[in-house]
A and B are shown apart, each in its own frame.
Chain A
Amino acid sequence: MSISLHPDTPEGRTLAVSPVADAAPAAGPAPKKVRSRLFIKYVALFVAVVGVALLTNGIFEVFFYYREHKAALIRVQREQAEAAAAKISQFIKEIESQLGWTTQLPWSASSLENRRFDALRLLRLEPPITELAQVDSTGKERLRVSRLAMDVIDSGLDLSKDPKFTEAVAHKVYYGPVYFRRESEPYMTLSLAGTRKDAGVSIAEVNLKLIWDVVSQIKVGERGHAYVVGAQGRLIAHPDISLVLRNTDMSRLQQVQAAQTALAAVQAALAAQAEQAAQAAQAGQAGRAAPPAQVLPAPPAWTANSGPDALQGTLNIQGQQVLTASAPILPLGWIMFVELPVEEAYASLYAALQRLAIVLLGASMFAVLAGIFLARRMVGPIQALRAGAERIGGGDFAQRISIETGDDLEGLAE
């Protein structure tokens, strides 16, 4: 280094100096390169150690946090679906039980005017019932009261072949398919047969718009919502009423298909149980011994929910990725769905990732600064050692350098 600072070297010493001059510039940058390599090595090592430790910790935490968070979300959704399904089931059951009051007495016992009074009172009590018809045991319509049309007495309409009548007589209660009046209002026919055979059947036309209120009031996270799908995958209720009015068919959605399969399994199991119970009852009535009770499988657990392992959601009717939970509404055979956009489930994940990135960035900057500081302290003495060794070394550079790089401690001792 000292030689490179004195360009006007006397020529007498050129011969001796030139190898030195040749070696010195070579040795000049060499210490510099060695120094910066070592320095950078230390800094890099320091940063790498800190970085790897933080990164590993962060990734582990984020991964497990995400899985648990998602599982919790789906659990909440499932509970919401079950609660909402229970509410709708309750709504229908209440109408059924009120309707039951109108089928208590046989037709001969009660005058038409009394029946009309009861029917009108029922309309007053149950806003969803728009029309109520009473049919006697032969299937002839005797009375019809309506909110919209004139009341009709003894119309003579023969409903003996109509499923509204026949199904109710056979199974006590009949839930008709959802239909739309004037292409814009959802209705369902609900018929109830009397407790006695001669009581006839009461047929109510139930406006399902109030179910929409139940569905649209369900709060799922920030942007999730609930909806109801009926038989054949037809959308019955949705916060976006226009989708329902357009008779949207939901059965092409993956989650709907899964739920429909699950519902079919549950209904089959329940039907088998009911069949067995009926057989036993019949046998009991006839005085025979009951047939050996097969051990029927219990209705399968409802599995049509997004699993916590699923990283992707499924597509919903609007094309968004969603996590879905569902619950059956028996015995109507409807399915309640509760869905949450995957982005919202991911939102907390992204927040956690963001935090991790910020922490990593901050920590690595700190590590760089600390590394520079510490490395300088470590490398500094080595620089001084080398400089001293060079001064001492004088002319015999080649050998001295090699010794030096391999042997700083010995140099220090010297």
Chain B
Amino acid sequence: MKRREFLALLGGAGIAASNPARAQPAGKVRRIGFMGNSTETLEANLVAPFRKALRGLGYVEGRDIVIEYRWAEGDYERFPALVAELIAAGVDVIVTAGTPAAFAVKNATNSVPCVMVAVGDPVGTGLVASLARPGGNLTGLTSIAPDLEGKRLALLHEMVPAISHFAVLWNPANPFHVAAINGVQAAAKVLQMKMLSLGVRTSEQLDGAFAAILAERPGALVVLADRVFLHGRDRIMSFAGQQRLPGVYAYRELVEAGGLMSYGPNYAEMHASAATYVDKIFKGAKPADLPIEQPIKFELVINLRAAKALGIEVSPTLLATADELME
């Protein structure tokens, strides 16, 4: 009897030892809530790197993760409802971009982790306590250093030194822009340029902005970083093309749509980096302890075709400095 019990014990121990330990319980599907500012087609070039990076980290859609998409279509008023929907759907992490979207998440929940793919000034606007230790449930990547606005204006001035009056499109509903527009104003003063401030909250208000530009006739256009402008990029760029306005923008997508130049971080890469944050959160890290990343590389993209259409001769310095020249 004793021998039999002992053998049974040995056998049981053997079977237990042979089971490999698994890091994640097999079959648990994680839900990611992706809240886009624009529409699926317009943000496709940003979602694709995110999904690709997730695949690279070993997550298979359908088996390990499921991504729920919600689109605001350029209307920030819809964010609270969309966030509530995602939370009700039981997502494990919310991924979104832009300061207004991040605030919508912050106001709705302080327990669901959120990865902010691109926010302008997380500390200044009050989204997080500090870049090194965000605290709370929000973490992610910051996109725009507060100084970049001055840099952009300086680049515009270098490209077209004759300009003394420019229009700037910004979004008063975006907490970051309140500081950013002051930066533009300060830079304009240094460069001795006059600024026409045009606040645009939604795509519908673009018409009013266009009318103001037609009335005031500034020599150039500056568009600050807000997803509303990404959403309406085709309209804005066709208007700028019609009016023969050179401009400098925060998003390369505007240059791809016909704008003259842009200077800023690579948002596609930031979306890919967001996947790393999602991965860390799934592996148990707390958003409060994950530091917020800042971009190292900033790209200067110049559209040579647009330059030619505007009759601008791009200086050799700018040609040599540019990271990408579009024909």
Residues of B within 8 A of A146 (CB): 151
Fill in one digit per residue for A236-255: 1 if any B CB lies within 8 Å of its CB, else 0: 00000110011000000000
Residues of B within 8 A of A183 (CB): 130-132
Whether, in the assembled complex, A120 has its beta carbon less than 8 Å from a beta carbon of chain B, the answer is yes
- Assuming the contacts A149-B150, A183-B131, A245-B291, asked whether A124 and B190 have C-beta atoms less than 8 A apart, the reply is no
Whether, in the assembled complex, A117 has its beta carbon less than 8 Å from a beta carbon of chain B, the answer is yes
Q: How far is the CB of B55 from chain A (nearest CB, A)?
A: 20
The answer on a CB contact under 8 Å between B291 and A184 is yes
Q: How far is the CB of A49 from chain B (nearest CB, A)?
A: 24
Query: In the complex, what residue of chain A is closest to B285 when comparing beta carbons?
Result: A242
Residues of A within 8 A of B132 (CB): 183-184, 242, 245-246
Residues of B within 8 A of A150 (CB): 147, 150-151, 153-154, 187, 190
Q: How far is the CB of A164 from chain B (nearest CB, A)?
A: 21
The answer on a CB contact under 8 Å between A151 and B321 is no
Whether, in the assembled complex, A147 has its beta carbon less than 8 Å from a beta carbon of chain B, the answer is yes
Interfacial residues of chain B within 89-116, with CB under 8 A of chain A in the complex: none
Residues of A within 8 A of B153 (CB): 150
Tally of A-B residue pairs with Cβ under 8 A?
65
The dominant DSSP class at the B interface is loop
The answer on a CB contact under 8 Å between B154 and A184 is no
Q: How far is the CB of B257 from chain A (nearest CB, A)?
A: 25
Query: In the complex, what residue of chain A is closest to B322 when comparing beta carbons?
Result: A124
- Assuming the contacts A150-B187, A242-B289, asked whether A210 and B321 have C-beta atoms less than 8 A apart, the reply is no
Whether, in the assembled complex, B194 has its beta carbon less than 8 Å from a beta carbon of chain A, the answer is no
The answer on a CB contact under 8 Å between B296 and A207 is yes
Fill in one digit per residue for B265-292: 1 if any A CB lies within 8 Å of its CB, else 0: 0000000000000000000000001111
The answer on a CB contact under 8 Å between B290 and A120 is no
Complex CA–CA separation, A93 to B187 (angstroms): 36
Whether, in the assembled complex, A116 has its beta carbon less than 8 Å from a beta carbon of chain B, the answer is yes
Residue tally, chain A, CB below 8 Å to B: 27
Residue tally, chain B, CB below 8 Å to A: 27
The answer on a CB contact under 8 Å between A147 and B291 is no
Residues of B within 8 A of A116 (CB): 317
- Assuming the contacts A242-B291, A245-B132, asked whether A120 and B320 have C-beta atoms less than 8 A apart, the reply is yes
Query: In the complex, what residue of chain B is closest to A147 when comparing beta carbons?
Result: B298
The answer on a CB contact under 8 Å between B154 and A127 is no
Whether, in the assembled complex, A170 has its beta carbon less than 8 Å from a beta carbon of chain B, the answer is no
Complex CA–CA separation, A36 to B298 (angstroms): 90
Query: In the complex, what residue of chain A is closest to B289 when comparing beta carbons?
Result: A242
Whether, in the assembled complex, B133 has its beta carbon less than 8 Å from a beta carbon of chain A, the answer is yes
The answer on a CB contact under 8 Å between A148 and B145 is yes
Query: In the complex, what residue of chain B is closest to A124 when comparing beta carbons?
Result: B321
- Assuming the contacts A148-B145, A184-B132, asked whether A127 and B296 have C-beta atoms less than 8 A apart, the reply is yes
Q: How far is the CB of A199 from chain B (nearest CB, A)?
A: 22
Complex CA–CA separation, A209 to B130 (angstroms): 18
* Chain A interface (Cβ < 8 Å from any Cβ of B): 113, 116-117, 120-121, 123-124, 127-128, 130, 146-151, 182-185, 207, 209-210, 241-242, 245-246
* Chain B interface (Cβ < 8 Å from any Cβ of A): 123, 130-133, 145, 147-148, 150-151, 153-154, 187, 190, 289-292, 294, 296-298, 316-317, 320-321, 323
| Nearest 5 CB-CB pairings of A with B | A184-B131, A245-B132, A150-B154, A120-B321, A149-B147
